Amino acid sequence: MDFNLTEERQMLQDTLRRYLADRYTTSVRNTILDSDSGMSTDIWAGLAELGVIGALFAEADGGFGGAGFDIATVFEELGRAGVVEPMLDTAILGGRLIAALGDDTQRGLLEEIIAGAAHLALAHGEPASRYDLTRVETTARADGDDIILNGRKAVVVNAEAAGQLIVSARESGGMFDLDGISLFLVPAGTPGLALHGYPMLAGGRAAEVTLDTVRLPQSARLGAAGGGLAPLMDAIAAANVALCAECVGAMQSAVELTRGYLMTRKQFGRPIGTFQALQHRFADMLIELEQARSALINASGHLDSADRDRQIAAARNLIARAGRLVAEEAIQMHGGIAMTQEYELAHIAKRIVMADHRFGDADYHLERFIALSAA
Amino acid sequence: MDLNYSDEEKAFRAEVRAFLAENLPAEVSDKVRRGISLGKEGHEKWHATLNARGWLAYNWPREFGGAEWNAVQRHIFEEECAAAYAPRIVPFGLSMLAPVLQKFGTKEQQDHYLPRILSGDDWWCQGYSEPGAGSDLASLKTRAVRDGDHYVVNGQKTWTTLGQYANWIFCLVRTDPEAKQQEGISFLLIDMTTPGITVRPIVLLDGTPEVNEVFFDDVRVPVENLVGEENKGWTYAKYLLTHERTNIAGVGFSQAGLDAVKRIARIETANGRPLIENPHFAARLAQIEIDLMAMATTNMRIISQAASGQAPGVESSMLKVKGTIIRQEINDLTRRAVGPYAMPFASEAVEGDNAPIGPDYAGPVAAHYFNNRKLSIFGGSNEIQRGIIAKVKMGG
């Protein structure tokens, strides 16, 4: 066993950490959070230039990474700095679906994505689907040579910035059937496609998407008719590794901020970190952080294994629990200051807790783990 | 041992319920249920409605125009108000300052300020915490120096809740920097329109401007605005804090929150079934309900003692800790219940009337989860409460 990063990944980690420490300061991030677009094009271009996006793709797709540990390396740093730019949506969800399913023309998008010149969004979840990946009520039907989409998609992250939406729709079968889900590339501005955008609590933007008789040519089809679920699950598995890593990075920041505060904040004539009651709770935060890191390593290392889904369910369940403890304890030990918008920790805590609401919370992943372990 | 309310208490509950049914507008309870801010005017209207019935100052003695309810009556009223989604009564003037004035104020102060609290002419805020004085409140540094008929006040207060609406602030100030910490503090009433006062909003992590910083720069306060004796302010502050801790368990809030999350979980679905039937969700819900049932009885045990004249001591610290943990657990469960629709930042749902994103109950739940992290921080943090419990029970 070897728990060290490879030389390349170590270099990527160092470079990215330095870049974000210099460029993604609290005030820069607060400006981004207050902006209409909810992201910085400068930062996005900077990340592309550093090769951060390329690190998330395999060589065959024009990148130089793409494995579980590459995803973990990048997203841990993004999480540590509280980055809100839509790397998960454009590069992981969008990028992996294009890489896995795209025809030659569609694969042309990969180069643009890696260069930081294109954004994507996955429009899969629907108002009633919660975390259930099979519940698709949006329909796709043939009309001559064309395809017509009708339906609604909920909380589509990065929809407004995306040049293309990857939309899932049911082409055959019933509402919860595993077969019959197809994927389509829908360019922004297609008639019948309407976005109602809004900011999110933890930063970034999303939209409610309505598809009202959206007419597409056959060339918009991404992958085989009715075969969308398996590649969706592959992309979402990678997204779950990314979310785990982002949380571990953010938890690390929360712990570091708390340590600094405990050592400098004085009440009753001494640093509050000298009170044993707080020391023990700080120790528990560190213990949970190490558990979370190990769960992340398990998930990253199994991204391409047969045991992938069970490992990922385990990691997301553990990190959801550990993350909540770390976020809440960090706020509590800071006191009032952590409740303010402009203090670093508030944002970090929001990133940790709100990750719960993407692709399943602790309970969802617990149920997945139980089901997969019984299988 | 009898777990039932007496006939008089049941009749009182019916009276409160009938009053609320008749006088609480549906649009107001709807806002409270959805967690939408009422604004200054909304609170003032509800205060006026209660005042017209003689129920605004339900904890005041009759001689000052209050209803003088006992602890059980108060509890019934608070429970019914929470269940009906009535606005909370803004406590700063009514249940924080007023008891201090009634016990330690001069006749002139009582005659002047108390009627203005009832009528809504004055909106009070609390000037206690400072940047360097949080849990260790007695280390406060805001100075008041006697200059003829005035005190000249310099310093800064923080976490001043709804200070943006207030025209008066009651403050703890240091009048004797040489004395031991607790012995050099005085209790001053300050007109917020006095020159030299600046109020600066602090935006909280859920985006709401709920609290403020208040700066004092050579603010001249007439000496007759001193409450009680100079340098005895700590005694009055502690007295005030015991009143701040009435309804500290928040049983009514928890009950209303539990009802709300159950309603949401009947509408939300997981795997095609109502969420409330999901075993893991149901288990979490049940666990909280079991804790709440026991805490409601703990609360009643302490209330009964108080009604029979025994002052609650360390028990109110216990209620604060357990009560806030339960409320925060309910906030967490509610956040989970709405799934992906917790993610939109619906500041308009907290502050206004814009169309919600997703189901109408989803908008503010994540914001409330974050906002209510304050419950275990303010009013004496849960760490301070645990310290009090241990100290008292170990005879320290």
> Per-residue pLDDT for B350 more than 60?
no
Q: Point out the least confidently predicted range of B126-135, B209-218, B318-327, B349-358.
A: B349-358
Residues 127-166 of A with CB under 8 A from B: 127-128, 130-132, 135, 154-155, 157
Three-class secondary structure assignment of chain B: CCCCCCHHHHHHHHHHHHHHHHHCCHHHHHHHHHCCCCHHHHHHHHHHHHHHHCCCCCCCCHHHCCCCCCHHHHHHHHHHHHHCCCCCCCHHHHHHHHHHHHHHCCHHHHHHHHHHHHHCCCCEEEECCECCECCCHHHCCCEEEEECCEEEEEEEECCCCCHHHCCEEEEEEECCCCCCHHHHEEEEEEECCCCCEEEEEECECCCCCCEEEEEEEEEEEEHHHEECCCCCHHHHHHHHHHHHCCCCCCHHHHHHHHHHHHHHHHHCEECCEEHHHCHHHHHHHHHHHHHHHHHHHHHHHHHHHHHCCCCCCHHHHHHHHHHHHHHHHHHHHHHHHCHHHHCECCHHHHHCCCCCCCCCCCCCHHHHHHHHHHHHCCCCCHHHHHHHHHHHHCCC
Burial of A7 (0-12, 13-18, 19+ CB in 10 A): exposed
Task: ipTM value, please give it.
Answer: 0.95
Residues A191, A103 share a domain? no
Residue B386: closest CA among chain A residues belongs to which residue? A277
Given an 8 Å threshold on Cβ–Cβ distance, is B343 in contact with A338? no
Q: What is the CA radius of gyration of chain A?
A: 21
Burial of A266 (0-12, 13-18, 19+ CB in 10 A): middle
Residue A38: closest CA among chain B residues belongs to which residue? B345
- Superfamily of chain region B7-89: Acyl-CoA dehydrogenase/oxidase, N-terminal domain (1.10.540.10)
Chain B residues with CB under 8 Å of A127 CB are 358
Residues A84, A147 share a domain? no
- C-alpha to C-alpha distance for A170 and A191, rounded to whole angstroms: 20
pLDDT per position as a tens digit, A10-64 = 999 999 999 999 999 999 999 999 999 999 999 999 999 999 999 999 999 999 9
Q: What percent of chain A has pLDDT over 90?
A: 97
Chain A residues with CB under 8 Å of B268 CB are 130
Phi and psi for A319 in degrees, rounded to 5?
Answer: -70, -30
Chain B residues with CB under 8 Å of A323 CB are none
For residue B246, what pLDDT is reported?
61
Q: Which of B338, B345, B376 to mutate to test the interface with A (most CBs of A within 10 A)?
A: B345
Contacts of B361 (CB under 8 A, 6+ apart): B34, B260, B263, B264, B267, B338
Given an 8 Å threshold on Cβ–Cβ distance, is A154 in contact with B340? yes
Residues 167-186 of A with CB under 8 A from B: 175-176
Q: Is the residue at A2 inside a domain?
A: no
Nearest to A277 among B203, B367, B383 (CB): B383
Chain B residues with CB under 8 Å of A353 CB are 335, 366, 369-370
Name the minimum distance, in Å, from the CA of A178 to any CA of chain B: 13
Residues A369, A234 share a domain? yes
Given an 8 Å threshold on Cβ–Cβ distance, is A336 in contact with B378? yes
- C-alpha to C-alpha distance for B286 and B261, rounded to whole angstroms: 12
Confidence of residue B313 (pLDDT cuts 50, 70, 90): confident
CATH number, domain B122-241, options 3.30.950.10, 3.20.20.140, 2.40.110.10, 3.40.50.880: 2.40.110.10
The bridge status of strand B185-191 relative to strand B226-227 is antiparallel
Residues 62-121 of A with CB under 8 A from B: none
Q: Would you say A244 and A71 are in contact if contact means Cβ atoms under 8 Å apart?
A: no
Question: For residue A75, which of A351, A353, A357 has the smallest C-alpha distance?
Answer: A351
Q: Residue A97: enclosing H or E segment and its boundaries? A: helix A95-101
CATH number at residue A49: 1.10.540.10
Nearest to B134 among A132, A267, A277 (CB): A267
Single residue among A225, A244, A267 that ends a domain in this structure:
A225
Question: For residue A149, which of A157, A163, A139, A158 has the smallest C-alpha distance?
Answer: A139
Given an 8 Å threshold on Cβ–Cβ distance, is A354 in contact with B136? no
Domain with CATH 1.20.140.10 in chain B: 248-393
For residue B349, what pLDDT is reported?
45
Q: Which residue has the tokens 């955008």?
A: A197
Encoded amino acid at B122, one letter: D
Residues A280, A209 share a domain? no
> Per-residue pLDDT for B311 more than 70?
no
- Across chain A, how many H-helices and E-strands are there? 12, 10
Nearest to A201 among B129, B270, B343 (CB): B343
Contacts of B27 (CB under 8 A, 6+ apart): none
Chain A residues with CB under 8 Å of B270 CB are 130-132, 364
Helix residue ranges, H only, A194-228: none
Nearest to B336 among A338, A342, A363 (CB): A363
CATH number at residue A146: 2.40.110.10
Residues A19, A65 share a domain? yes
Chain A residues with CB under 8 Å of B160 CB are none
> Per-residue pLDDT for A325 more than 70?
yes
Residues A260, A351 share a domain? yes
Residues A81, A31 share a domain? yes
Q: Which residue has the tokens 């060339």?
A: A219
For residue B395, what pLDDT is reported?
81
For residue B244, what pLDDT is reported?
59
Structure token digits, residue A354: 């709100």
Chain B residues with CB under 8 Å of A347 CB are 205
CA diameter of chain A: 80
Reduced to 3 states (helix: H, G, I; strand: E, B; else coil), residue A361 is coil
Residues A145, A114 share a domain? no
Question: For residue B379, which of B243, B283, B265, B252 has the smallest C-alpha distance?
Answer: B243
- C-alpha to C-alpha distance for A282 and A164, rounded to whole angstroms: 45
Single residue among A119, A150, A177 that ends a domain in this structure:
A119
Nearest to B374 among A198, A339, A347 (CB): A339
Q: Which of A205, A363, A366 to mutate to test the interface with B (most CBs of B within 10 A)?
A: A363
Q: Which of B264, B273, B377, B389 to mutate to test the interface with A (most CBs of A within 10 A)?
A: B377
> Per-residue pLDDT for B300 more than 90?
no
Q: Is the residue at A1 inside a domain?
A: no
> Per-residue pLDDT for A374 more than 80?
yes
Name the minimum distance, in Å, from the CA of B195 to any CA of chain A: 28
Given an 8 Å threshold on Cβ–Cβ distance, is B381 in contact with A176? no
Given an 8 Å threshold on Cβ–Cβ distance, is B373 in contact with A328? yes
Question: For residue A165, which of A145, A151, A179, A146 has the smallest C-alpha distance?
Answer: A151
Structure token digits, residue B122: 């004055």
Establish if A234 touches chain B: CB-CB under 8 angstroms: no
Nearest to A340 among B202, B280, B369 (CB): B202
Q: Which of B269, B273, B370 to mutate to test the interface with A (most CBs of A within 10 A)?
A: B370
Q: What is the CA radius of gyration of chain B?
A: 22
Given an 8 Å threshold on Cβ–Cβ distance, is A278 in contact with B272? no
Confidence of residue B70 (pLDDT cuts 50, 70, 90): confident
Question: For residue A116, which of A77, A85, A93 has the smallest C-alpha distance?
Answer: A85
Helix A308-334 × helix A344-354 angle, to 10°: 150
Beta strands in chain A (DSSP E): 120-123, 139-143, 146-157, 164-170, 181-187, 193-199, 205-216, 221-222, 266-267, 270-271
Confidence of residue B303 (pLDDT cuts 50, 70, 90): confident
Phi and psi for A340 in degrees, rounded to 5?
Answer: -95, 140
The bridge status of strand B124-127 relative to strand B168-174 is parallel
For residue A60, what pLDDT is reported?
97
Name the minimum distance, in Å, from the CA of A53 to any CA of chain B: 25
DSSP state, A227?
B
Q: Would you say A330 and A255 are in contact if contact means Cβ atoms under 8 Å apart?
A: yes
pLDDT per position as a tens digit, A146-196 = 999 999 999 999 999 999 999 999 999 988 899 999 999 999 999 999 999
Chain B residues with CB under 8 Å of A199 CB are 344-345
Q: Which of B137, B205, B348 to mutate to test the interface with A (most CBs of A within 10 A)?
A: B205
For residue B354, what pLDDT is reported?
59
Domain with CATH 2.40.110.10 in chain B: 122-241
- C-alpha to C-alpha distance for B375 and B247, rounded to whole angstroms: 13
- C-alpha to C-alpha distance for A22 and A25, rounded to whole angstroms: 7
- C-alpha to C-alpha distance for B28 and B42, rounded to whole angstroms: 8
Residues A214, A315 share a domain? no
Q: Which residue has the tokens 């779950």?
A: A240
Chain A residues with CB under 8 Å of B202 CB are 340
- C-alpha to C-alpha distance for A331 and A344, rounded to whole angstroms: 11
Encoded amino acid at B351, one letter: E
Residues of B annotated as catalytic (active site), given as ranges: 244
Structure token digits, residue A327: 């976020």
Residues A113, A131 share a domain? no
pLDDT per position as a tens digit, A261-319 = 999 999 999 999 999 999 999 999 999 999 999 999 999 999 999 999 999 999 999 99
Establish if A332 touches chain B: CB-CB under 8 angstroms: yes
Chain A residues with CB under 8 Å of B159 CB are 336
> Per-residue pLDDT for A98 more than 80?
yes
Residues A84, A126 share a domain? no
Establish if A356 touches chain B: CB-CB under 8 angstroms: yes
Phi and psi for A36 in degrees, rounded to 5?
Answer: -65, -35
Q: Is the residue at A322 inside a domain?
A: yes
Reduced to 3 states (helix: H, G, I; strand: E, B; else coil), residue A145 is coil
- C-alpha to C-alpha distance for A195 and B268, rounded to whole angstroms: 24
Q: Is the residue at A146 inside a domain?
A: yes
For residue A176, what pLDDT is reported?
87
Given an 8 Å threshold on Cβ–Cβ distance, is A155 in contact with B358? yes
pLDDT per position as a tens digit, A226-241 = 999 999 999 999 999 9
Class of the domain covering B248-393: mainly alpha
For chain A, how many structural domains are there in total?
3
- C-alpha to C-alpha distance for B21 and B17, rounded to whole angstroms: 6
Structure token digits, residue B77: 């009223």
Beta strands in A265-310 (DSSP E): 266-267, 270-271
Size of interface A-B (CB pairs under 8 A): 134
Residues A264, A278 share a domain? yes
Q: Point out the least confidently predicted range of A3-12, A139-148, A232-241, A321-330.
A: A3-12
- C-alpha to C-alpha distance for A214 and A226, rounded to whole angstroms: 18
Q: In which domain, by residue range, is A56 found?
A: 7-119
For residue B229, what pLDDT is reported?
97
For residue A365, what pLDDT is reported?
98
Q: Which residue has the tokens 């967690």?
A: B35
Chain A residues with CB under 8 Å of B139 CB are 267-268
For residue B307, what pLDDT is reported?
66
Name the minimum distance, in Å, from the CA of A358 to any CA of chain B: 6
pLDDT per position as a tens digit, B32-57 = 888 788 999 999 999 999 999 999 99
> Partners of A270 in the beta sheet?
A267
Cβ atoms within 10 Å of B52's Cβ, excluding its own = 10
- C-alpha to C-alpha distance for A303 and A237, rounded to whole angstroms: 7
